[in-house]
């Protein structure tokens, strides 16, 4: 079943109910969302964007982003969201790798993206701004400006008036709905294909486990281009027919302002770390909140405790990944253990595999987390070898190392993969090393994550120079030119050589140990 049809079937019967409350107080209704998505679907049709093609969206967070997401689903195309801070070079890679049929970019980057689209093989290019502007919205009419719900009204067209746009394209559960890029140790991002059925399984599991209700108000401060903000937060809220306060980005001050009106908040550990340090984060302010959920990176026990002390609320930590959606969660009702990611989500099977033998790890021992279930993605796009490595007898290897306690709760104790998680954003060392190694005067580089109170891990470059005069500033400048800012090293260290293990691979664990001591 097309995920859009499934979601629409869960929308409140009273379509005038608010789906999004903007920070400026404007409310947009479920009726608006249905109609706006139909209008965008029609616009893609008019642009002759091929059916089933991948549509890349590099647009700032706003209500129209959600409408475009639904438009892509309902028209049977595949949604590929991209971080707005990606450079032109990064976007070009995705367009080529995913054979993108349409790129929707921010209006102010349209000129820059014209060249990118051409180099990538002439995908269509449209733009969409946060105020209903841009070439995609032009044909569609500025519906945002015209919808002043709760009464609604004044929209450019009624959803039921267009048979073509009202019907969602028929899709089977295993057909692709969303393509999300993630990486392995190779450094080249791979497109993880999530089907209509995968996403539905994930949001149904969350709906049930976290007791979603149509009168929930989600305070949404996460980006919409990752599964956390897109599926765990926004799509599950749509599944419940709930309302979202859609903040353009996380800002602790603004979050504090909207907490009293909200019932659910989700964040990465950095957000909780920052909120726990705010004087205005009081029990009274959180009195309506029924759920503070956290994930994407490990939540430290001190941050868990500090937040509890201030807010009187116990954070519910959960664990998941792009390829699989949510895997485990602490319970809504029951004990939430600090430092633990809880028990398997409904329908998800989890096992711990001994890394050497690939058999079940002994009870109480650390093993690689392997998972199975309807939520697990269908594979990486055009990467037969990666798919071969990723699956064993139908189990997906997460690359995370975990332990299970006597109560069946899991905790993540490390990663088998080379990965830095900074503020909940994944940075793949090989991708950054590749850029740094090409800087004149750099002989070789190694990217590691060092502990950071705020970001969890800080991207750190350890460099061997071939020319002694190459400076940290020059390296930073080169990184900035090619990589999104969050991937750029915040700390640069120079060494005479990199430690290597018996296999000749850089020993990153040793590097981390030596710089952690400093």
Q: For binding to ligand AMP (CB under 6 A), which residues are involved?
A: 182, 295-298, 317, 319-322, 341, 398, 400, 412, 415, 421, 426
Find the shortest distance in angstroms from Cβ 368 to ligand AMP.
11
Instruction: Please tell me whether residue 64 adopts helix, strand or coil conformation.
Output: helix
Select from 132, 424, 429, 449 the one that contacts ligand MLC (CB under 6 A).
424
Using the minimum distance from each CB to ligand MLC, give the nearer residue, 38 or 455: 455
Please give the angle made by the CA atoms of 446, 452 and 453, to the nearest 5 degrees.
Answer: 175
d(CA 36, CA 4): 13
Our finding on whether 281 is near ligand MLC (CB under 6 A) is no
* Residue 422 touches which member of ligand MLC, ligand AMP, none, C-beta under 5-8 Å by kind: ligand MLC
- Residues of span 464-503 touching ligand MLC by CB under 6 A: 485-486
Our finding on whether 81 is near ligand MLC (CB under 6 A) is no
Find the shortest distance in angstroms from Cβ 421 to ligand AMP.
6
d(CA 195, CA 413): 30
Find the shortest distance in angstroms from Cβ 11 to ligand AMP.
28
Stretch touching ligand MLC by CB under 6 A, among 220-228, 368-376, 401-409, 432-440: 220-228
Select from 43, 113, 168, 227 the one that contacts ligand MLC (CB under 6 A).
227
Select from 57, 234, 425, 479 the one that contacts ligand MLC (CB under 6 A).
425
What tokens appear for 237 in the block? 């809220």
DSSP letters for 286-338: TTT--EEEE-SSPPPHHHHHHHHHHHS---EEEEEETTTEEEEE--SSS---T
Beta bridge partners of 294: 267, 317
d(CA 338, CA 352): 21
Instruction: Please tell me whether residue 98 adopts helix, strand or coil conformation.
Output: coil
Beta bridge partners of 243: 217
Owner of token pair 């009726």: 31
d(CA 92, CA 79): 16
Write a three-state SS string for 169-200: CCCCCCCEEEEEEECCCCCCCEEEEEEHHHHH
Stretch touching ligand MLC by CB under 6 A, among 68-76, 135-143, 421-429, 462-470: 421-429
Phi and psi dihedrals of 380, rounded to 5? -85, 140
Using the minimum distance from each CB to ligand MLC, give the nearer residue, 349 or 388: 349
d(CA 493, CA 491): 7
Find the shortest distance in angstroms from Cβ 270 to ligand MLC.
4
* Residue 317 touches which member of ligand AMP, ligand MLC, none, C-beta under 5-8 Å by kind: ligand AMP
* Residue 400 touches which member of ligand MLC, ligand AMP, none, C-beta under 5-8 Å by kind: ligand AMP
d(CA 138, CA 415): 47
- Cα separations in angstroms, 294 against 264, 291, 297, 404: 11, 10, 8, 19
The site map against ligand MLC for 431-460 (x = CB under 6 A) is: ------------------------x-----
Find the shortest distance in angstroms from Cβ 424 to ligand AMP.
8
Using the minimum distance from each CB to ligand MLC, give the nearer residue, 245 or 425: 425
Closest by CA position to 230, among listed 72, 455, 405: 72
Using the minimum distance from each CB to ligand MLC, give the nearer residue, 228 or 285: 228
The site map against ligand MLC for 180-199 (x = CB under 6 A) is: --------------------
Count residues binding ligand MLC (CB under 6 A): 23
* Residue 329 touches which member of ligand MLC, ligand AMP, none, C-beta under 5-8 Å by kind: none
The site map against ligand MLC for 318-357 (x = CB under 6 A) is: --xxx-----------------------------------
- Cα separations in angstroms, 479 against 145, 184, 186, 484, 492: 40, 20, 18, 8, 12
8 A C-beta contact, residue 130 and residue 142: no
Using the minimum distance from each CB to ligand AMP, give the nearer residue, 116 or 421: 421
Using the minimum distance from each CB to ligand MLC, give the nearer residue, 11 or 65: 65
Using the minimum distance from each CB to ligand MLC, give the nearer residue, 312 or 331: 331
Distance of CA 15 to the CA centre of its chain: 28
Site residues, ligand MLC (CB under 6 A): 222-223, 226-229, 249-250, 268, 270-271, 295-296, 320-322, 422-425, 455, 485-486
């Amino acid at each position: 079943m097309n995920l859009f049809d499934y979601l629409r079937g869960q929308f409140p019967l009273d379509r005038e109910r608010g789906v999004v409350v903007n920070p400026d107080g404007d409310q947009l209704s479920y009726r608006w969302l249905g109609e706006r998505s139909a209008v965008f679907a029609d616009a893609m049709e008019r642009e002759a964007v091929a059916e089933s093609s991948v549509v890349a969206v590099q647009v700032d967070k706003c209500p129209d982003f959600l409408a475009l997401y639904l438009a892509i689903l309902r028209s049977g195309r595949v949604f590929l969201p991209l971080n707005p801070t990606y450079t032109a070079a990064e976007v070009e890679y995705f367009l080529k790798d995913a054979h993108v049929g349409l790129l929707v970019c921010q209006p102010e980057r349209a000129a820059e993206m014209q060249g990118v689209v051409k180099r990538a093989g002439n995908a269509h290019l449209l733009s969409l701004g946060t105020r209903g502007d841009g070439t995609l919205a032009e044909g569609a009419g500025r519906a945002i400006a015209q919808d002043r719900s709760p009464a609604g009204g004044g929209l450019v067209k009624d959803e039921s008036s267009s048979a073509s746009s009202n019907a969602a394209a028929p899709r089977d559960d295993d057909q692709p709905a969303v393509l999300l890029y993630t990486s392995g140790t190779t450094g080249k991002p791979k497109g993880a294909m999530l089907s209509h059925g995968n996403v539905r399984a994930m949001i149904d599991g969350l709906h049930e486990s976290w007791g979603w209700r149509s009168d929930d108000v989600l305070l949404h401060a996460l980006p919409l281009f990752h599964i956390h903000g897109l599926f765990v937060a926004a799509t599950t809220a749509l599944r419940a027919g709930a309302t979202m306060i859609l903040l353009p980005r996380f800002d602790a001050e603004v979050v504090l302002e909207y907490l009293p009106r909200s019932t659910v908040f989700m964040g990465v550990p950095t957000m909780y770390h920052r909120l726990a340090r705010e004087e205005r984060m009081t029990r009274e302010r959180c009195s309506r909140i029924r759920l503070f959920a956290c994930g994407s990176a490990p939540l430290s026990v001190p941050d868990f405790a500090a937040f509890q002390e201030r807010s009187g609320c116990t954070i519910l930590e959960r664990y998941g990944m792009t390829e699989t959606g949510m895997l485990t969660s602490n319970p809504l009702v029951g004990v939430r253990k600090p430092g633990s990611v809880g028990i398997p989500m409904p329908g998800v099977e989890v096992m711990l595999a001994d890394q050497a033998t690939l058999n079940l790890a002994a009870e109480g021992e650390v093993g690689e987390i392997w998972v199975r279930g309807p939520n697990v993605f269908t594979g990486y796009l055009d990467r037969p070898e990666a798919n071969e490595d990723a699956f064993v007898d139908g189990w997906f290897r997460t690359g995370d190392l975990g332990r299970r306690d006597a109560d069946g709760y899991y905790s993540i104790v490390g990663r088998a993969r080379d990965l830095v998680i900074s503020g909940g954003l994944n940075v793949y060392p090989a991708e950054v090393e590749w850029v740094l190694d090409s800087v004149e005067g750099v002989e070789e580089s190694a990217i590691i994550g060092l502990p950071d109170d705020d970001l969890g891990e800080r991207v750190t470059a350890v460099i061997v120079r071939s020319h002694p005069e190459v400076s940290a500033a020059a390296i930073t400048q080169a990184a900035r030119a090619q990589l999104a800012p969050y991937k750029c090293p915040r700390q640069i260290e120079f060494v005479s050589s990199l430690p290597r293990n018996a296999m000749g691979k850089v020993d990153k664990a040793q590097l981390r140990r030596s710089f952690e001591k400093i």
